[in-house]
Amino acid sequence: MSDGKVYPVKEAAKSRALVDKEQYMAMYKESVENPNAFWGEHGKRLDWIKPYTTVKNSSYDRNNLSIKWFEDGTLNASANCLDRHLAERGDQTAIIFEGDDPDNSRHITYRELHQETCKFANVLKTQGVKKGDIVTIYMPMIVETAVAMLACARIGAMHSVVFGGFSPEALAARVKDGGAKWVITADQGLRGGRPVPLKKNVDAALRHDDVTTVEKVIVVQHTAGDIDWHEGRDVWFHELMADASTECEPVEMNAEDPLFMLYTSGSTGTPKGVLHTTGGYMVYASMTHEYVFDYQQGDIYWCTADFGWITGHSYILYGPLANGATTVLFEGVPNYPDSSRIGKVVDKHKINVLYTAPTAIRALMAEGDQYMKQSTRESLRLLGTVGEPINPEAWEWYYNVVGDQRCPVVDTWWQTETGGILISPLPGATDLKPGSATLPFFGVQPALVDGDGNVLEGATEGNLVILDSWPGQMRTVYGDHERFILTYFSTYPGTYFTGDGARRDEDGYYWITGRVDDVLNVSGHRMGTAEIESALVAHPLVAEAAVVGYPHDIKGQGIYVYVTLNHDADPSDELKTELVQWVRKEIGPVASPDLIQWAPSLPKTRSGKIMRRILRKIAANEHDSLGDTSTLADPSVVEDLIEFRENT
């Protein structure tokens, strides 16, 4: 991973941004030296029903763990996203809906969104939902999903959104874990021109013997496709909405009352039910949205994530709406009708900020520039990425081809657990280095520790921990506080352990090297997966690569590489030899791959992340113990790889 390239802050970004380099440094210093004053001030960005008088109250001592922010304040998240904007911008577009079908889009104003939310909040009340209850939402990316989430928040119910691409089994496990009595779904979703049988999946999930809590299934009619109907249990959304009142007082919530629970992606094991509370989360989501994307009134902002992930919660819904933004809600996929879609949607809605994931960037890059070139993208001013380390090669393509060298790229590192972005450039303040998430956000104190938990100083590499609490931090694993303490606060006592490894360079920039569990130890050399993968992706014929260790008699661990080639490349033995030489040249002999396997595609989570733990098992020939595969996007990929493995 070369530190070589630096892209200095652009004048255009600097002249409009909230903070430049000096201001960032001054504010950062204040935020960590005096968090109570800093967050006490910035907490005022929300409308509080009863203002807080205390700010931070946290202890990372595992025997006395406590994380509380603004704890005597009260507020309502939906009122902060809707009601407070009505006077000034009731007629402004809150959501631009862009359907799966490119001819289907519409604008929803703040006033309309407020009305729909109030109506559905009243519906939920008539269905018996009360403050503190859990409601499972299993929906496509449509406006009703935003309405459902905001309506839950309005009456103080916790939503638990389950990604609409999950199987009935994965849905069943999540419904069971939360014990929801209500499921909100749609007849069908639409993705890439094909229907997704959401209601059918709900029916199948609820047939599981151990899913016993659900009393009502509220069904949005979206495609009007054929579905089964369970009299007494199933109810139509539109029928309930027909005569619901548009008035609904938001419930007064304590800052520490739960807002939602949400499961992690499951890249490293069984997903964790992450619980976020109201005050700190909302302050942090809205503040990071404003500063990281330099959001200003009138900007059109598009995050391509799904509501099923934290990115959809914090940066499609809560952060943008709290800021009175216009947020784009995309139902479809980047390659439908073809790979020019993203660029065309940008042109259609004159989008200024695009926030997407490395998996999408790599996929579009592999298709070639001609698709992107079918749009002007001249409205874009900022690009963002999240979800995995972005290979410098993909970063450069994003910057050069998608952003025409005009738009800064903010590589935002964070987790479901963190609620919002923790490490990221700020467009007016931070010089960029492709592949680095750069510097911490206000109030965030990252540190690198060695295996014994000693804090390492200067330019170095280690396990990434956070030394003190920030407002958006998760408060517990739902129903399993012990797991919360064990997972995050026990490995390196006194710190929050992220599970990721990172390198810090001479400028204090952070480079995420991958999951700590994935670190390779080859002949005594410790190596992150990201660096070798990036070297491979830099080869002109390689679309994607995943690196894992496997047992090796001499080296301890050997380097096993899965490579997906560009569509036009020929998978020959000569190319394997060439790739080995390539990595030796890019990084050095210690990183040279021992085995290369061609992979038509890689196993990914439903949120698009490479699942190296499964690749590790395949490499080690342990096909019978793949672990939790329920979060896998396409199980057939694994079968293909096992078959290929046997022929390698």
Instruction: Enumerate the known binding-site residues for Mg(2+).
Output: 537, 539, 542
Residues 416, 417, 421: CA angle, nearest 5 degrees:
70
- Would you state the torsion angle of the CA atoms of residues 149, 152, 153, 156, taken in this order, to the nearest 10 degrees? -160
DSSP sequence for 224-291: -------TTTEEEHHHHHHT--S--PPPPEETTSEEEEEE---SSSS--EEEEESHHHHHHHHHHHHH
Q: How far is CA 5 from CA 139, 145, 396, in A?
A: 42, 42, 10
Supply the minimum distance, in Å, between the C-beta of residue 413 and ligand ATP. Answer: 4
Q: Which residues are annotated as a binding site for ATP?
A: 387-389, 411-416, 500, 515, 526
Structure tokens at 534: 């990036």
Which residues on neighbouring strands pair with residue 275, listed in sequence order?
Answer: 261, 476
Supply the minimum distance, in Å, between the C-beta of residue 611 and ligand ATP. Answer: 9
Residues 552, 517, 520: CA angle, nearest 5 degrees:
35
Structure tokens at 257: 């009352």
What is the Cα–Cα distance from 642 to 619, expressed in whole angstroms?
Answer: 9
DSSP sequence for 284-309: HHHHHHHHHTT--TT-EEEE---TTS
Using CB atoms within 10 Å of the CB of residue 642, give its burial: 0 to 12 exposed, 13 to 18 middle, 19+ buried.
middle
Residues engaged in binding ligand ATP (CB under 6 A): 264-269, 271, 309, 386-389, 411-416, 437, 498-500, 512, 515, 607, 609
What is the Cα–Cα distance from 510 to 582, expressed in whole angstroms?
Answer: 26
Site string for Mg ion, 245-284 (x = CB under 5 A): -------------------x--------------------
Q: Which residues are annotated as a binding site?
A: 191-194, 311, 335, 387-389, 411-416, 500, 515, 523, 526, 537, 539, 542, 584
Question: Pairing mode, if any, of strands 595-598 and 556-565?
Answer: parallel
Block residue for tokens 């000096």: 22
CB nearer to Mg ion: give 264 or 469. Answer: 264
Neighbours of 573 (CB within 10 A): 8
Structure tokens at 503: 């390198």
Which residues on neighbouring strands pair with residue 511, listed in sequence order?
Answer: 503
- Would you state the torsion angle of the CA atoms of residues 444, 450, 451, 454, taken in this order, to the nearest 10 degrees? -80
Phi–psi pair at 53, nearest 5 degrees:
-115, -15
Question: Which one of ligand ATP, Mg ion, none is in contact with 155 (Cβ closer than 5 to 8 A by kind)?
Answer: none
Which residues of this protein are in contact with Mg ion, per CB under 5 A?
264
